[in-house]
Amino acid sequence: MIWALHGAVGMAADWRVYAASLPAEWGGVRRLDLWRFLDCCPMPLEKWGNTLAEEIKRVDPEPILVGYSMGGRLALHALLAQPDLWKAAVIISAHPGLSDEAERAKRREKDAEWSAMALKGDWSDFLEKWEAQSVLGAGGEMPDRTRLKERRASIARSFIDWSLGAQADLTCDFQQIAAPVLWLSGGEDTKFTELAKVAVAQLPDARHQIIPGCGHRVPWERPAEFSRRCQEFLASL
């Protein structure tokens, strides 16, 4: 089965089109609601990775992870938590981690601002500012985020617990990941394409593919191409 992890300020419904595009032979797509892990209490990245692995291995002997952006970072933590569990992984537009502590501190500060806006600010204003980020560009139509207001406490917590500033540079541990990995980035997303090249060079069994004419939101800017690349990768396992 494929387990799909959405990005920051995202939701399980983001994967609806992708799930419908895959043939039944892959066992279906379980679209995870990541906010439920933060509904009751804080959950640091390392604990989250092991929590997900323990949850999945009880029901799926050959799980495949698909993670976008923040969900890609979370997927990497799950892969590292129990490296022998996973059949494969698809990582999209994800950051492997900052090595410079000053950069990490700066990111924690910025994410604390996002957290405060998500928790206490006007929700529409928060969403407008989030979508205006240059990294997201204008590509890909996403499901309506207004209903995520009900999850604002968990979303706010994610900016603290799952901040890039709270994450170690994972490339130092990538040799532990045994599963084949397909790492995707958009051709117009130069920052994350360069990060992908660095990350894949450290993974034992990985390939990096660039989707031309595409920015950060690869699965939604080029849904057919994204699905095709995933299916070709899965068929090669």
Give pLDDT tens digits for 8-62.
999 999 999 999 998 877 788 999 999 999 998 899 999 999 999 999 999 999 9
Nearest to 218 by CA among 170, 183, 166: 183
Q: Which three-class secondary structure state does DSSP give residue 89? A: strand
- Type of residue at 236: S
Q: How far apart are CA 93 and CA 113, in angstroms?
A: 23
Are 27 and 49 in contact by the 8 Å Cβ rule? The answer is no
Q: How far apart are CA 70 and CA 171, in angstroms?
A: 16
| Domain-located, residue 201 | yes
Nearest to 85 by CA among 5, 224, 179: 179
Q: Which three-class secondary structure state does DSSP give residue 196? A: helix
In terms of phi and psi (left: phi > 0; alpha: psi -120 to 50; beta: otherwise), the region of 102 is alpha
| Domain-located, residue 195 | yes
pLDDT score recorded for residue 138:
65
| Domain-located, residue 222 | yes
Q: In what order do the strands lie in the sheet with 29-32?
A: 29-32, 2-5, 64-68, 88-92, 181-186, 206-211
Q: How many Cβ atoms sit within 10 Å of the Cβ of residue 19?
A: 18
Q: What are phi and psi of 181, to 5 degrees?
A: -130, 130
pLDDT score recorded for residue 8:
97
Task: Give me the CATH number covering residue 61.
Answer: 3.40.50.1820
| Domain-located, residue 187 | yes
Count of the separate structural domains present in the chain: 1
Q: How far apart are CA 189 and CA 185, in angstroms?
A: 7
| Domain-located, residue 83 | yes
Are 211 and 230 in contact by the 8 Å Cβ rule? The answer is no
pLDDT score recorded for residue 135:
87
pLDDT score recorded for residue 100:
95
Q: Percent of the chain beyond pLDDT 70?
A: 99
| Domain-located, residue 112 | no
Q: What are phi and psi of 207, to 5 degrees?
A: -135, 145
| Domain-located, residue 177 | yes
Tokens of 50: 């092991």
Instruction: Note down the domain range covering 219.
Output: 2-99+168-235
| Domain-located, residue 108 | no
Structure letter (DSSP) for residue 173: G
pLDDT above 70 (res 139): no
Q: How many contiguous H segments (helices) and E segments (strands) does the chain have?
A: 9, 6
Q: How far apart are CA 40 and CA 31, in angstroms?
A: 20
pLDDT above 90 (res 134): no
Q: What mean pLDDT, rounded, does the chain reach?
A: 95
